[in-house]
Amino acid sequence: VDTKSMISINQLSMAYGEKLLFYDVNLILTDQTRYALVGANGSGKSTFLQLLMGTQDPVAGTISIPKAASIGWLKQDQFRYENTRISDIVLQGKPVLWQAMQEKDKLLNSDHSNQKNINRLGKLEDEIARLNGYSAYALAAKLLMGLGISLEYHEKPLTTLSGGFKLRVLLAQALFQEPDILLLDEPTNHLDFISILWLEKYLKNEFTGLLLFISHDVAFINRLADSLLDVDYAEIRPYSGNYAKFLAEKKLIAEQKLQEKRSAELKIATMQSFVDKYRASAARAKLAQSRLKMITKMEIPDIKQSSRLSPSFPFKIIRPSGKHILRVKDLAKNFQQKKLFQQLSFEVKRGEKIAIIGENGIGKSTLLKILLGYIHPDQGHYEWGYETHLSYFSQDHHDLLNKNSSVLAWLENQASGANEQLIRKTLAQVLFNKDDVAKDILSLSGGEAARLLLAKILLEPSNVLLLDEPTNHLDIESTAALADALRCYPGTLLFVSHDRDFISQIANRILFISREKKLQDVKQLDALVLN
């Protein structure tokens, strides 16, 4: 598609029920540009992508995309493919190619080798060659392996994979399509550290179209995006540069708007004071009347409320622990005949903040559960030190939030030693307002559930935190607030994460479990030797 402005957006407005998401949006998105769409949870980012896909209609305005432009997106409809071969699912990203390959196979396997079929086969061969069909399986394998799905699975049905890995197959399908426009909603959510690095490199070096992606991974945004689109104040505003530059520029704009408002208010107040003073004066009544007219014509800039809110996570410790927190010796665990890790040995001292990283399925969550006593190791042993009191955040929110209950009642039940006033104050700190505390915990969004589980930890008497992917559903503001809080936390921290920016801000030590089940113990991410 030979066009520079791939997407033209004119006076676009969208509401969700009573809530206005954005209005009068005017944007031109250009080819070969990578855009990161950023904003608070619920601000309308995913809705904006759905408008571009054509799966939702706007309240007002138009979106113009060239008819010849192909649009690809990560379709989360894995249930369609449960019994389909994984490599075939990827190839179905190009329906025309897939249909040609299917028809060719059917003709080759039929008994009728008449002239009509021979001619048709020739046409199909040409069509498959034109669509690079003869290198299709090689490209599908490259994409799947890059996203962490090993070769042994490629010929198996999708049902052999777990939920997160199924979504990786669908991501490979979207990349295989090689569309002119690629729309991705949180593509790193189900990826591990290694796969995120691969995806970032692939999108940067090998995808040549227009990319628009939503992410709360600041490192991913900084390394990939040419431009940021900020959904806030009921508008979508473009910014150039990295995330830190965007924040500084956004802050400056907000300060300028506030200054304009204050300046206008001061001007009006001064003129009003003159009017009040001289309205009855014969000599100055005319002047007073003139100022009054000016006041009625003056407009005070409307400063809308930002949709971005930052929670607060003031973690405290019950009392200091001993100097030696944990000793782990030769720990090993297998799961369904698969070796997760073996001969894992390390020690933890008081005050250390340790990130545990590695590929998905390598056993990071299992390691935390062993250390908590939830699972028994197959070999080896571990020992917690003197006066260690543990708090745990599970990446599977359903472990605890699995029965109907209001937010307030659930937290009261979990934090039995705290009074209602303290519980309400803690909920307010993690952004649950007076109405939110009455919500049923089963109806909470991922971000709300994560903040509620962190509120539980705030109320627990502990001095060691074990956190498993705490940022998975948090927006950028909540992730930044959590990073600040953990950096200042006076206790000891062991956490699993795939968010490089988050890890870099907090960890003073990193344990990397490699594919070979070996442990690299380093001070910072840059020191890792990655295959």
The contacts of residue 71 (CB under 8 Å, 6+ apart) are 52, 53, 65, 179, 180, 181, 182, 183
- pLDDT at residue 387, as a whole number: 94
Q: Where are the beta strands (DSSP E) in 371-478?
A: 379-384, 390-393, 464-468
**In terms of pLDDT, which residue wins out, 466 or 515?**
466
Element (H, E) at 367: helix 364-371
- Across the chain, mean pLDDT equals 90
446: pLDDT confidence band, cut at 50, 70 and 90? Answer: confident
Structure tokens at 54: 């054509």
User: What letter would DSSP give residue 528?
Assistant: -
DSSP β-bridge partners for residue 241: none
The contacts of residue 411 (CB under 8 Å, 6+ apart) are 423, 426, 427, 452, 455, 456, 459
Kindly report the pTM of this predicted structure: 0.84
CA distance 20 to 1: 34
- pLDDT at residue 17, as a whole number: 81
374 backbone dihedrals φ, ψ, rounded to 5° = -80, -30
89 backbone dihedrals φ, ψ, rounded to 5° = -60, -45
- Alpha-carbon separation of residue 225 from 6, 204, 218, 239 (angstroms): 17, 9, 10, 11
Structure tokens at 149: 């799905």
Question: 479 with 453: CB under 8 angstroms?
Answer: no
CA distance 224 to 210: 12
- pLDDT at residue 255, as a whole number: 84
- pLDDT at residue 301, as a whole number: 64
Closest CA to 39 of 239, 210, 189: 239
CA distance 39 to 41: 7
DSSP β-bridge partners for residue 140: none
- pLDDT at residue 1, as a whole number: 45
Question: 466 with 393: CB under 8 angstroms?
Answer: yes
User: What letter would DSSP give residue 44?
Assistant: S
Mean pLDDT of 322-329: 96
The contacts of residue 261 (CB under 8 Å, 6+ apart) are 300, 301, 303
The contacts of residue 379 (CB under 8 Å, 6+ apart) are 330, 331, 332, 342
Distance of CA 171 to the CA centre of its chain: 15
- pLDDT at residue 5, as a whole number: 61
| Range among 327-341, 441-455, 513-527 with highest mean pLDDT value | 441-455
Mean pLDDT of 186-202: 91
Element (H, E) at 333: strand 324-335
CA distance 452 to 446: 10
CA distance 93 to 347: 47
The answer to which of 248-252, 301-305, 488-492 has the lowest mean pLDDT is 301-305
DSSP β-bridge partners for residue 406: 440
The answer to which of 22-31, 209-218, 519-528 has the lowest mean pLDDT is 519-528
